Structure 1
Amino acid sequence: MPHPESTYDRRRLRQWLAGEARADGVARRDLLRLLAAAGLTAAVPTALATPPAVAAPRTNATATAPGIVKPLPDEWFTIRGTNAETKFPSLAGTGYHTPVDHFFVRNHTATPVLDAETWKLTVWGDGLAHPEPVEFTLDELKRLPATSRTAFVECAGNGRSFFATQQGQTVSGTAWTLGAIGTAHWKGVRLAEVLRRAGLTQRAVDVLPRGLDAEYVTADGTNLGRVRRPLPLSKALDDVLLAYEMNGEPLPADHGHPVRVLVPGWVGIASIKWVGDIEVAAQPLYSPWNTDFYRLLGDAYPDGGSAPLTHQTLKSAFELAWNADLPAATDQRLTGRSWSGAGGVVRVDVSTDGGTTWRRARLHDAPRRAGWVRWSTDWRPTTPGTYTLLARATDTTGRSQPETTVPNTQGYLFDAVVRHPVQVV
């Protein structure tokens, strides 16, 4: 039977969120402790001891990040603590599905390297018809009816840095730009099928998957336990997968090997990686990841904040370097991607003059729920100087990206139009 939930002090946790540590990342001393527990201490580079503000620039073509297994070429990734953000220019020409070697990595602790032969999924709880846990091996899951879905996974904090750089607001957490997202073709078994075979009853209310990565310990020593995030039964029975393949291959270690949860269109924390057990409960379930994290908090959200985050929001990104140099009097083909967790993107408008005028971009994909569209537009700048490019998406709900996003203390769900500078030379 899985161990009981770890206890934690809410007051101290909120103080930590207010600035004593990062909400999305791990302090070095905590990271060393977590990696030691996972047997990965040697993976911590010595350079990490230098504070980020004065760290020497990387000179190697391929960098490393603590607790991430796959190579992280500098031209593809920006390393952010225990995480790796995809550089959007590297996606140009890669096709609709993000190649696995380009796919961003979001780790609360470190990537565990698990043996698929000995891995088991335990389903348990008072929402089942019997008290005994039910176990599934990977081979047993693969013998169940398979389902495939194309969907993006996106961190709730994607775009967080723009609260500061565009809106002048202070928020906590990893300073993602727009690269904490990737779209893949996933294959697995529907969670509904597994729950049915485990003995789901009408008493069930919530379903809580839990990962097999190390327990998350905050900077002040508070142990929050393993990463876990409850789902309402209605969502669990809808389109959620227990995925074991990604783009036609077994899941890589950094992306959840051997099995992960995939919750299409929802914030990434719901798609638990390295899932080891699933509690099925006859009452609502809670964890730090739907109470103190992954809710909108702040002055605009009184009375304890918003409900736990579910659907992702609307965004657009150019496949172009920040402050890229473009030659004057030369035809340019600007490309990018737009996406929404609430519905397919049906229109993208682009401005090359800071928002004074707009023109409609060409869409190269059909609108897809929990997917993105690739788009392009032509531009011939005639005069050298600094230009600001904007891309604004509209989805099937009728919603378009706003000029600004209402701030929240942890910097979630930034959806405003991003102001992308380029230099015409």
Structure 2
Amino acid sequence: MSPVPPSEAAYDALRLRQWSRGAARSAGIARRDLLRLVAAASAAAPLAPLLAPATAHAAAAAPGIVKPLPPEVFTVRGTNAETNFAALRGTGLLTPADRFFVRNHTVTPRIDATDWRLAVWGDGLAGPAVEFTYDELRALPSVTRTAFVECAGNARSYYTTQQSQQVSGTAWTLGAIGTARWRGVRLADVLRRAGLTRRAVDILPRGLDDEVVSDGIVLGRVRRPLPVAKALDDVLLAYEMNGEPLPPDHGHPVRLIVPSWVGIANIKWLGDIEVSTRPLLSPWNTGLYRLFGPGYPAEGSAPLTRQTLKSAFEVAPGAEFPAGRHQVLTGRSWSGGAPVRSVEVSTDGGTRWHRARLHDVPRAGSWVRWSAPWVPRTPGPAVLLARATDRSGRTQPAVAAPNTQGYLFDAVVRHEVRVV
């Protein structure tokens, strides 16, 4: 078994230094192309226009997504589908698969589990490559974890709409997240069965979706390295979601679940895992999924790992509330750093704050549902605010630190409604 390496922060700092001096190996792409990606990432570009309500409700499908996308539940954004947060009201702690957001780099592949194989290979193993069939994987001891999966760019549009900052990427609001109960096999068990050695430092899971092409550069299939320490900790090779086999859009037959980490680490449609004795680089931890801009090195920050702190109302934007009538506002808060400790709500744009009632026991890697009473008094526009504090003591700020690609927005979101 590999020894436990230093903390995530120390690992990130080490990888940043290795990337800067060219000491890490580029896996499946030329280093010159990685450098081109970094150069492109350092310059912000305008977001794709946010869909107007009429356009959003007319959208009923996205290229390459298999499941139905009813407009009252989803807003289609290119090859992706964002969950409208109001559609989560009353769904319970777990997000049903038919309401779970979809993040696709290309299109959803249709894979027959009976033909599927997982290859584990690389110089970090004691012997040759090892293959697992779907049935062999399911025959291993299983574990179940409740965890959210959230795109690193979730809430990206608020950099522009709230902070007037130009960023690039998909214009998510707050719906690029879902929480599910995942069942599968611990990645640690699979790696040990495959012959993991003490010399291994990185593993590289790779998906079976189509190769990604960006600005004329063939990036290859989606893949992103994980440190061995994380791989041996809480990572899951999941084959069930909320008690059912994974749906195609969510990784059938097997996907990675990396609790609390940014969504790109949770590779869908897993096909192979390289185990390496050298640090590994891919487009998804160099030009993509790093922080660029003022205050960051020219080569970007260390690769993104843990998600940040957020809150969202289960209320449609622009919703109307009758004056003088008692209301119960509901929402959800989550953090990748520590369980949520408390949530405060303001119904007057931030002048006064009141503690919300939590409806779930706060747990690492999951969200909590909350509610707060409100009797709106004065007709006209109103701004609802929700801010969470987690057990590390961190509270959502008023302003998020900018970066060119709009990752990890954590500021309090201004939710505009109307009293009639």
Question: With structure 1 as the length reference, what TM-score do the two structures score?
Answer: 0.89
Residues matched between the structures, number: 394
Contact 2:311 2:412 in 1 (8 A): yes
Q: Is the 8 A contact 2:156 2:171 kept in 1?
A: yes
Larger RCO of the pair (alpha carbons < 8 Å, separation 6+): 2
The alpha-carbon distance between structure 1 residues 59 and 393, as it changes in their structure 2 partners (threshold 3 A), is closer
Aligned amino acid, residue 99 of structure 1: P
CA distance, structure 1, for counterparts of residue 299 and residue 39 of structure 2? 15
Secondary structure at the residue paired with 1:405? coil
Cα shift readout 1:81-116 (whole Å, capped 9, x = no counterpart): 000000000000000000000000000111000010
Whether contact under 8 Å (1:16, 1:22) holds in the other structure is: no
Q: Could you say what secondary structure the match of 1:289 adopts? A: helix
SS of equivalent residue, structure 2 residue 204: strand
- C-alpha distance in 1 between matches for 2:289 and 2:308: 13
Deviation at 1:379, TM superposition (A): 0.5
Alpha-carbon distance change, 59 to 409 in structure 1, aligned in 2, over 3 angstroms: closer
CA distance in 2, matches of 1:185, 1:5: 33
Instruction: Give the drift of 1:303.
Output: 4.5
Distance in 2 of aligned mates of 1:340 and 1:56? 32
CA distance in 2, matches of 1:339, 1:17: 28
Deviation at 1:382, TM superposition (A): 1.2
Aligned equivalent of 2:16 = none
Residue 6 of structure 1 deviates from its aligned partner by 3.1
Distance in 2 (CA, whole Å) between partners of 1:12 and 1:190 is: 36
Give yes or no for contact 1:123–1:133 (8 Å, CA) kept in 2: yes
- SS at structure 2 position matched to 1:242: strand
Q: What is the RMSD of the two structures over their aligned residues, measured on CA atoms?
A: 2.1
Gaps of at least 5 residues in structure 1 are 26-50
Q: CA deviation at 1:304?
A: 2.3
Please state whether the residue corresponding to 1:311 is helix, strand or coil: coil
Match of 1:213 among 209, 213, 220: 209
User: Which residue of the partner structure matches residue 80 of structure 1?
Assistant: 77
Q: CA deviation at 1:53?
A: 8.0
Native 8 Å contact 2:333 2:368 kept in 1: yes
Please report how far the alpha carbon of residue 155 of structure 1 lies from its aligned counterpart in structure 2 after TM superposition. Answer: 0.2
2:398 to 399, 403, 415: 403
Q: CA contact under 8 A between 2:40 and 2:287: conserved in structure 1?
A: no
Residue 383 (structure 1) shift: 1.1
- Cα 1:386–1:58, aligned 2, differ >3 Å: closer, same or farther? closer
1:272 aligns with 2:267: yes
Structure 1 15/54 Cα, relative in aligned 2: closer, same or farther at 3 Å? farther
Aligned twin of 1:127: 124
Alpha-carbon offset, residue 300 of structure 1: 1.9
* Offset of residue 15 of structure 1: 5.2
User: Aligned-pair distance for 1:10?
Assistant: 3.5
Indicate the residue corresponding to 1:415 in structure 2: 410
Residues 72 and 420 of structure 1: is their aligned pair in 2 closer, same or farther, counting only changes over 3 Å?
Answer: same
- How many Å separate the matches in 2 of 1:202 and 1:283? 12
Match of 1:148 among 128, 144, 147: 144
Q: 1:181 aligns with which of 177, 182, 187?
A: 177
- Between the aligned residues of both structures, percent identity stands at 68
Task: Check the 8 A contact 1:125/1:281 in 2, yes or no.
Answer: yes
Q: Which residue does the alignment assign to 2:190?
A: 194
- Give the partner amino acid of 2:104: N
**Local SS of the residue matching 1:388:** strand
Distance 1:53 1:18, change over 3 A: farther
Q: Residue 14 of structure 1: CA displacement?
A: 4.0
State yes or no: 1:229 paired with 2:252. Answer: no
Runs of 4+ in 1 over 6 A off after TM superposition: 19-23, 51-56
Distance, in Å, in 1 between the alignment partners of 2:63 and 2:171 is 17
Aligned to 1:28: none
Counterpart of 1:354, as a letter, is G
The 3 A distance-change label for structure 1 pair 20 and 369 is: closer
Answering whether residue 5 of structure 2 is matched by residue 9 of structure 1, we say no
Describe the shift of the 1:181–1:300 C-alpha distance in structure 2 as closer, same or farther (beyond 3 A): same
What SS does structure 1 have at the residue aligned with 2:163?
coil
Question: Is 2:306 the counterpart of 1:311?
Answer: yes
1:114 maps onto 2:111 in alignment = yes
Residue 19 of structure 2 is matched in structure 1 by: none
Q: Secondary structure of 1:323's partner?
A: coil
Q: Matches of 2:160 and 2:96 in 1, distance apart? A: 30
Q: Secondary structure at the match of 1:73?
A: coil
Work out the CA distance in 2 between the residues paired with 1:224 and 1:18: 18
